[in-house]
Structure 1
Amino acid sequence: MFTSPSSLDLPTGPRQIFEKSTFFLRNPRAQLPTPAQVRAECKAQGGNYGSARPLPVRFPHLGLIVKFGFVVSITEGQCLLWLKQLGVVRVPEVYGWTTDRVGYNLEVFLYLELIPAVSLKDRWRWLSRSNKEHIARELRVIMDKVHSIPPEPGEVYIGSIGKQPVQEDIFASYTEAKPGPFTSLSSFHEYLLCYFRQPPQWVDPDRHLLPDDVPIQFTHSDLHMGNILVSPPLPWSKESLWMAWQEWSRNRWSLIWVWRALWWGTWRRMECGEPRVVAILDWQQSGWLPSYWEYCKAMWTADFQPRSWGNKYLPMILDKNDVFCVWGDIAAAAGI
């Protein structure tokens, strides 16, 4: 039986440190890096600090990664806490979060578990057809479980965890509040079309293509290869050496993290060699959305992945639908 977010009494404050998390059990004397230390390390790692989406900062010796920026939200931390409780999918453990103001911008810092694994994107070129099909079948089972998570008791809405607004990047205005939550599919669709396509007084000719009778389901909303962690390759294989070389060309901290992941895989032999799904990352945009949304968003981002991912393997993971054409027009208007 699933536990609703409201029954967990999720923390909401601007600063939360979870002293009973495994971070403090492993490192009793350690402290989480301050925002200033995270920013300094981001610059040292070449993490494009100053952009809207700086690269997460890794602290391999602490088993820690910090996701931060003014488009990062506490909502994602709450969602990860809840998903960790449910156990339907492995996600990074949350060690805490804090906020810090820089000029007019409020940056959120999420302190997360650095899972010793590698992205599916990094392993894809080395995988055989049977490996890829195996991963697709694993993802199908995982995503079916995610999509079966019901909304809070007595409440059917479109929005993020805890009846909060929709966090989807399609509404990626950094100056306006996120929309919602919406109480019906029809109100969500009307807003969607008016926001991107037509003035409110016009009737959009594509309105009938957005169905108001589909289920509302919990959605990751950013399922691409970079957000899927898989088990690392065997150390000293051609694949692992190539990955190490690629990371060395980026920065030394990434190289340390990759080798830590590879040796972790050797120690836990069931996690190395034959690839398997280890975790799914980046739940920033997740929430309850129309059932067609997951497939449409994944297909949209598939343009930036190897062609076989969208053509062959995504249809094995997610159910196809006929909404993608009009959804793609809306996404193009949004500029995502």
Structure 2
Amino acid sequence: MLSAFALRFIYRARCWYERVWLGRPNRSLVRYLPFDFVIKANSNRGAHEADVLRYIRSHTTIPVPRVYWSAQDSDSTYTLMKRVDGSILEARWPRFDDIQRTRIVAQLRAYVGQLRDLQPTHSNSLAVCGLGNTPCNDGRVSSMPFGPFDDEAGFNDHLIRAAELYLADEILNDIRASMTDDHRICFTHGDLTPRNIIVRDDGTIAAVIDWEYAGWYPEYWETVKALYCTMVVKDDRWDKAVRDFIPGNYERELQIDKSLSDRMVGAF
């Protein structure tokens, strides 16, 4: 088993090689290695992505990268994974035909269904939290971990607190009064966007990646995040697809979140 020191050395050596020898400074947290390995660095906040990947791989048929080793030091968690062949959906979606896009939507619908069938790994089924009742981690809300919360009301209160710098108290009070505190709590990817889906040429999904925002959230949150800052080039077909592969009508919740997040973009 590789130690945190060994994984950190491999990660930093690859960063140095790309920057100095290849002249390709790379701001991504992911580095591609020989022999179809990938190493990723995450900050130590919330549940470790490697634990989420192992959990999803053990409890669903959703294709995710295979984790070989993971370890953490005082600052970061390093995860060594198998590389997944394919293309990022963001690059392929505009060029796919209707049949391929329909195939993508059907697969994602099945995956979301599996996530919603998962049962909490902690005792409080109402908690909004990361895997194993760890703190939440979501860049839409905060650059730092937050929670966990005993229920959705605590999560909603935190969403309001996160917007206090940007909105007047009167507006925030009205928004909080319009929020619902009794949604079903479901396991949620938290960033189910085209940049985090790897596909093959025929429209088959090879892997869903980037699970660092995953956790137990109100059922509408998957929709909010799948439509939040999704593509460099806006594509209404993706917006329609999201509403097709995530069950439920969350237009009201989207508008409530929009009243907060539209004023917070770039804040973190």
Q: Normalising TM by the smaller chain, what interval?
A: 0.7 to 0.9
Q: Secondary structure at the match of 1:218?
A: strand
Label 1:162 to 1:154 Cα distance change in 2 as closer, same or farther (>3 A).
closer
For the residues of structure 1 that align with 2:107 and 2:174, how far apart are their CA atoms? 39
Q: Which amino acid aligns with 1:288?
A: W
State whether structure 2 residue 261 is matched by structure 1 residue 292: no
Quickly say closer, same or farther: Cα 1:57–1:303, change in 2 above 3 A.
closer
- 2:21 corresponds to which residue? none
Partners of 1:276 and 1:115 in 2: CA distance: 13
Maintained 8 Å contact 1:17/1:95: no
**How do 1:224-303 residues align onto structure 2 when only pairs under 5 Å count?**
224-231=193-200, 233=201, 274-302=202-230
Q: 2:154 aligns with which of 170, 179, 187?
A: 187
Percent identity, aligned pairs only, is 20
Distance 1:305 1:88 in 2: 31
CA–CA distance in 1 between the matches of 2:215 and 2:46?
A: 13
Deviation (angstroms), 1:289:
0.3
The Cα RMSD (Å) is 2.7
Compute the TM-score of the two structures, normalised by the length of structure 1. Answer: 0.68
Distance 2:76 2:183 in 1: 36
Task: Please name the residue that 2:69 is paired with.
Answer: 96
Q: In the alignment, residue 217 of structure 1 is paired with which amino acid?
A: C
Deviation at 1:330, TM superposition (A): 2.5
How far does the alpha carbon of each residue in 1:58-88 deviate from its partner, in whole angstroms, 9 at most, with x for none? 01x3221111143676621111111111133
Distance 2:93 2:8 in 1: 34
What is residue 56 of structure 2 aligned with on the other side?
Answer: 83
Offset of 1:194 from its aligned partner?
A: 1.9
Ranges in structure 1 where 5+ consecutive residues have no aligned partner: 1-15, 19-31, 234-273
Larger gyration radius, structure 1 or structure 2: 1
2:163 counterpart of 1:196: yes
| Counterpart pick for 1:164 among 134, 142, 145 | 134
Unaligned runs of 5+ in 2: 19-23
Q: What's the CA shift for 1:47?
A: 4.8
Structure 1 CA distance, aligned partners of 2:35 and 2:258? Answer: 41
Question: Does structure 1 residue 140 correspond to structure 2 residue 72?
Answer: no
- Residues 139/195 of structure 1: CA separation in 2 closer, same or farther (3 Å cut): same
Q: Per-residue deviation at 1:306?
A: 4.0
Residue 63 (1) aligns with residue 36 (2) = yes
Aligned residues: 255
The letter of the residue matching 1:328 is K
Q: Is the 8 A contact 1:64 1:112 kept in 2?
A: yes
Q: Distance in 1 between matches of 2:69 and 2:237?
A: 34
